[in-house]
Amino acid sequence: MEANRPPNRPLRRLRRLRRSETIRAMVRETSLTPDKLILPQFVVDGEHRCESIEAMPGRSRLSIDETIAECRKAIDLGVRSFALFPALDPALKTSDAREALNEDNLLCRAVQAIKESCPSACVVTDIALDPYSDKGHDGLVDEHGVILNDETVDILAKMAVIHAKAGADMVAPSDMMDGRVAAIRNALDSAGFADTAILSYTAKYASAFYGPFRDALDSAPVEAPNVPGDKKTYQMDPGNAREAILEAMLDEAEGADILMVKPAMPYLDIIARLRDRTELPIAAYQVSGEYAMIKAAARNGWLDESECMVESLTSIARAGADIILTYAALDYATWWQKNRC
């Protein structure tokens, strides 16, 4: 048989499994369903508030009642998990970030209201000081401009307990302080919240892709004497990959339940490396800059929005992410439902 094969005719034709959408779907290696997505939400005080975020088309700062309405819409589409970020009145921001420990603060009220209205929702809360600090940093800043690691960790652990009391299913330390996962785990367990999970921002890079997010929360470092103008002393250097493995090993040993890489697409190699080194679920955050680039290009007619957003999210899952935080969660779920039918 082989002797009679015409020259230059391939034995294996990979195109056989590409000839129809039905066959392509059957052999597809990566299939991303809406229940693997987490929708980040920006919460503001008041009622019936919906403030569009110019740099993030399609996303808004929402009051608690409007946030609940969006949660219900998302759940109907199959997106059942939500990450909450409070956009506070600047008057509540202080050097000691004390509003973070107010059990009746905006975030805690939002968690309680969502869990009451949408019991099936998985609510994830951000553990960091930048929304509450008048310096715009994730940790406390001393008079010399040094970010105080251990003093910050003490506050973060207390924050986590307060969020768990409010009903948070997961707490997500995004601060990148050393030792905070262990401190949070110990605090939760001691307070009777052993079932509250920790989604750790394990490899959070000092990225330029966070700009629209910081505008949405007004959480960028402030320009003031003895206040660092960036977060490079505690977030990871974009040139480092092996360091991400060290961060992951530490977080896993300290009790993290899920490890996260942020941003996602510029760091697909990091997602893949962590996937090869741990059995824990891997999350990735398609951050505001990634989202905004696709939206802006689509608005200018340079890209097909749905095709590019789906391809982008699929690439993140293909790299090894089990869970993706994305501002496009509702869009993706809508497209997925449409194509499914």
> Which are the catalytic amino acids?
204, 262
Tokens 């921002």 found at: 201
DSSP code for 307: H
Integer Cα distance of 87 and 218 in angstroms: 7
Return the number of other C-beta atoms located less than 10 Å from residue 293's C-beta.
Answer: 16
Report residue 126: phi and psi, to 5°.
Answer: -80, 130
Return the number of other C-beta atoms located less than 10 Å from residue 150's C-beta.
Answer: 13
Return the number of other C-beta atoms located less than 10 Å from residue 32's C-beta.
Answer: 18
Integer Cα distance of 23 and 201 in angstroms: 38
Integer Cα distance of 161 and 192 in angstroms: 9
Nearest to 197 by CA among 113, 287, 127: 127
Integer Cα distance of 214 and 207 in angstroms: 12
| Residue 81: its H or E element | strand 81-86
262: phi > 0 → left, psi -120 to 50 → alpha, else beta; which?
Answer: beta
Integer Cα distance of 97 and 277 in angstroms: 36
Tokens 């679920």 found at: 281
The length of the chain, given as a count of residues = 341
DSSP code for 70: H
Percentages (nearest 5) of helix, strand, coil residues in the chain: 45, 20, 35
Integer Cα distance of 85 and 138 in angstroms: 13
